[in-house]
Structure formats: C-alpha cells, structure tokens
Amino acid sequence: MKDPRGAVRLVEVGPRDGLQNIRDHVPTSLKIELIRKLHRTGLRAIELTSVVSPRAVPQLADCRDVLRNDGIRHLLDQPLRLPVLVPNLKGLEVAIEHGAQEVAVFVSASEGFSRANINCSVRQGIERARAVAHRAAQHGLAVRGYVSCIFADPFDGPTSPSAVLHCVRELLDMGCYEVSLGDTLGTGAPDTVRSLVTYLVDSHVPVDRLAGHFHDTYGRAVANVWEAYRCGLRVFDSSIGGLGGCPFAPGAEGNVATEDLVYMFHSEGIETGVNILHLLRTGVWISQALSRPYATRAGRALALKHKLLPPAVHTTVQPVIHPTTKWSPVGKASNYDRLLVYRSGSNLKVVLNRPKKGNALTPNMIVDLVNLIEKCNKEPSISRIIMSAKGRFFCMGVDSPGPKSPLDQLTRLFKVIEHSPKTTIACINGPAFGAGVGLALSCDIRLSVKTAAFTVDQVGLSGGFESKPADHPVTAAELKSLGVIAEVADDVDELQDCLNKLLMRLRTSPSTASRISARLIRLIWAHIGRDGREAGVDQVNEFRSESNEMRVAIGCAQ
C-alpha cells in the first residue's frame, strides 16, 4: 500500500559531497560516468559538483571540466534538478558560464565551523550567500540552501535551535526554494530531529520548504530520515554507497546511503522513482572503482542477494583510534599561586601544582581558584572546567600556616564550583583528604583512578561518607557503585583517556545536561533520611518540569 502522505524526492549528492573528502585523485571521466549512471537509476536530482578553490578542496578542482562535458550539458538541458554548489559570486559566474540551471548556497549555524569552512563569521557567510542568491535570481537560476551543523559543531559544541532557525529564515528570505538541514557531524538522533523540526515549524517555517541531510557517523542516519519523514519532510539528501564526509569537520563520516533510503521507503510503500537494482549496480561499481568497501547496510545485503558482490568479499575493520585533547598553557605560571592552567578549545583545565605537599590547598591557592573560576563562569567561550593535580595525590586538604582555618574561603570555593554555569569535572589522579574530597564533590562529574581513596576529617559531607567513621577512607569503586564517580580508571594514563572520551562526548551534548543531573543528585542527597522527603519530591518534580522546558529550548541535542 502506498503511504497516503506522499512520495519523497531524493537529492543525490555523491558526485560532490560524496567525493570531495576522498584523498586519492578521482579522474574526471569517472565522475562523469558516475553522474550518468545515477541518472539512469531514475534519480531526478543530482548535485553535480562545486565551484570551490582547488587549494581548499583539491578533489573538485576539475569542476569546469565536469560542467563543460557534452554528456553533462545534455543533462542540463533536461527537466532535472542538477544543482552546483557555489560559495561566492566568482563561483556563480563559472556555473552560469557553463550552463547551470540551479545553484546551491550554504551557511553554517555555528561560528567555529563557519570560520573553518569558509573563513568568515556566520553573519558574513549569510551575506555572501545572499549576494549569490540575488545574482542567481537575476539570471533565472533556481537556488537551494544548506545549513550546516544543525545539532553540533566540531569546534564549538552543541548548536542552539534558534541559530538554525535564524539561518533557515535568512536562506528562505533570500529566495532559496528549499533549505536542506545538515547534520554535519552525524550527532542527531530521532528525538533531536523531531525536536528541531517541531521547533522550526512552530516558528512558522513551512515544512515543505525543508529537506534533510544526515550523516551516518553514529549509525543513526536512516532512523533520523524516517523520523524527519514522520515530521513532514519529503526531500532528503543521500549519497551513493554512503560516500561522503567533510574535510572541515573532523570525525564526520559519510552521508546516509541512497541505497538504504530507497530500500527503506520502498519497504514502507513510499515511492522514490528510483530503480533499486540499477542503484545497487551503480553503488557496487563506484565502490570498486574507488577501491573502497561497499559498506552500505541494506545495499550490501541486497547486492549479495542479487549476486552483485562475491560472497567471499570481506572488509577490513580499522581499529578505533580515540582522539586526544591537546592542551596549551594559559598565561604565565606566576599568575597563580601553585596552579597550572591549560586551554583546549572550550575546555579549561586547572592543575593543582604542589605535588611534594600532596597538593594541599594554601589560602592563596583557594583565593586564586575562586577568582579563576568566577572569571571562567563569565567567559562564554569556555564550556567545561576540569580540576586535576600533579603527582601521586589529588588534594590532601588545606595547608594553612596560621592558627585560623580558611573555612569561609573554602566554602566560597565549593559554592563557586557547585553553582558554576559550566560543566565541571574532577579528574582525580590519587587520594583525596578533607577539603580535597569537598573539591571533588563540588564538581558535576568525577573521574578517578582505582587507587584513589577518599577520607573526610569532619562530619556533614554526604555522597557515601555518612555511614563511615570520619577517618575511614572510601574507595573509588565504592563511590562508583553509588553513582558518585562516573568512571574508574586503572592508572593515570587510562584516566586521561577517560577524560578525552568524556570531553568528546560533551562536545556534542548540551552543557545543561550535566548540570541538570548534578542538581537532581544534590536534591536527592539533601532529603535522604529526613522528614522533608515530600518537599524533596516536590522540588524534583518541579525541576523535572524546568528541565523539560530547557530540553525543548535546546533542541535535545545529543
């Protein structure tokens, strides 16, 4: 049975987006033959190439040769959608000169990717696109728009839905007949797709002017397309054989495979106009021509079923190499008393530097920590603060030479960390005592080596200590079983790996998520064992309502 909601239109981006990230030179003749084979499958929208700087994207340096080919010019005269991606007016002139009937313009919803991709701010990128769209309209060309990084930016982290809405409105206002929403990093999930599309539609963006462009980095692209279809989208970008990626988006994998989408929609009785068998033959052909495994999901299974691939073909699984975080010193060491400060993108790491004294806090260190964290709390370019230490110990309390304990300053330090608008992480490299335990518990997330022991020298600290004598150490494993510590590593090297992986995950998650969890945990601890349980439940329910509103506002980015 045909789906009553209607057929879909697939925009094949393999010849441009699929090939641009391949390092080995792809002959122009192969690109032209790919376009011809894709057309024979029944596809009626194929992105031909991009007129970009050969230095920026060497693989597309032959764009003029592709466009002037007689076979391609014949296709340009037919009632097809064959957009050419152009970044500026110079590129537009080349497209017009070679007979293009449609061009595509693009903007990024985030500043970091915009500067890495086209070396300008989002505002400047919109103005460039507007100039191209207006000139194209004067020449009678149709204009399609792209918005990149709709969920996350490889440099800045999560993208706000309002930033996506701003770009979509600008592209529609400048004359784009539709706007393709690009999940450049592939971090989207069905719930975030629904959240964003709902937000855009509720903001009066016509759903029939939107298209979906999903990357398959985390294997969710097909599910995201289906969810977008359920939300009302009927146009989707895809790439033959799942080819693709972006040279300016580290870690981004290929586009959703055209074969997988055609199979999914046809299985649901939804028409695409594409001959699946011809498509499979094209996918196998281009994969073999590029010496790449044919790694689509449904496509590969169907190709084996139809004997388009030999059953003995095996693909080599490459080992996963986890990225490392590169830290650069911030300022001079003399700026702070016994503190080392490092920066990596939107991450700031503070390292206690009194290893011979067990990294015990001095009054000056406490003051410096308060001032530093308060400064970071006001800095919008910082999203996460990591607390760590040098040597064998994390922090063995307070080292105060005078008779008066700096309790007031210490309490202020804990509150500044606890109520920080940033995500705070304690990277615990060894034992903690007294104030060192308080420093760790003040953070939103805690990572620890397994040899770390936590000892309090006063009653009143919760988090797993209230059932222990004041001088009885609690192990990292015990605290992990209580949910107080997130990860326990075998040694310091593994602890650093845990931190790297966590920071990579947090780059594609809203910083509010960690703070929501931290506040809920503090509410639970505050009411355990007291007559105020009912009040605590009320506060938790109230906060759940608040967090749900926040979830909608931030688009539930994963």
Residues classed as catalytic: 246
In which region does residue 391 sit, left (phi positive, over 0), alpha (psi from -120 to 50) or beta (all else)?
Answer: left
How far, in Å, CA of 215 to CA of 235, rounded? Answer: 15
Which residues are CB-contacts of 344 (< 8 A; sequence separation ≥ 6)?
Answer: 325, 326, 327, 328, 503
Question: What is the rounded distance in angstroms from the CA atom of residue 513 to the CA atom of residue 107?
Answer: 27
Q: Take residue 510 and report the two structure tokens written for it.
A: 């809203």
- How many residues are recorded in the chain? 558
Which position has the token pair 């705070």?
Answer: 424
User: In the 3-class helix/strand/coil scheme, how is 382-447 assigned residue by residue?
Assistant: CCEEEEEECCCCCECCECCCCCCCCHHHHHHHHHHHHCCCCEEEEEECCCEECHHHHHHHCCCEEE
> Helix 533-554 and helix 511-527: axis angle, to 10°?
170
Number of H helices, E strands in the chain: 19, 20
Amino acid present at 337: D
Local structure of residue 17 (DSSP, 8 states): I
The DSSP symbol for 306 reads T
Half-sphere exposure of 91 (CA within 13 A, CB side): 25
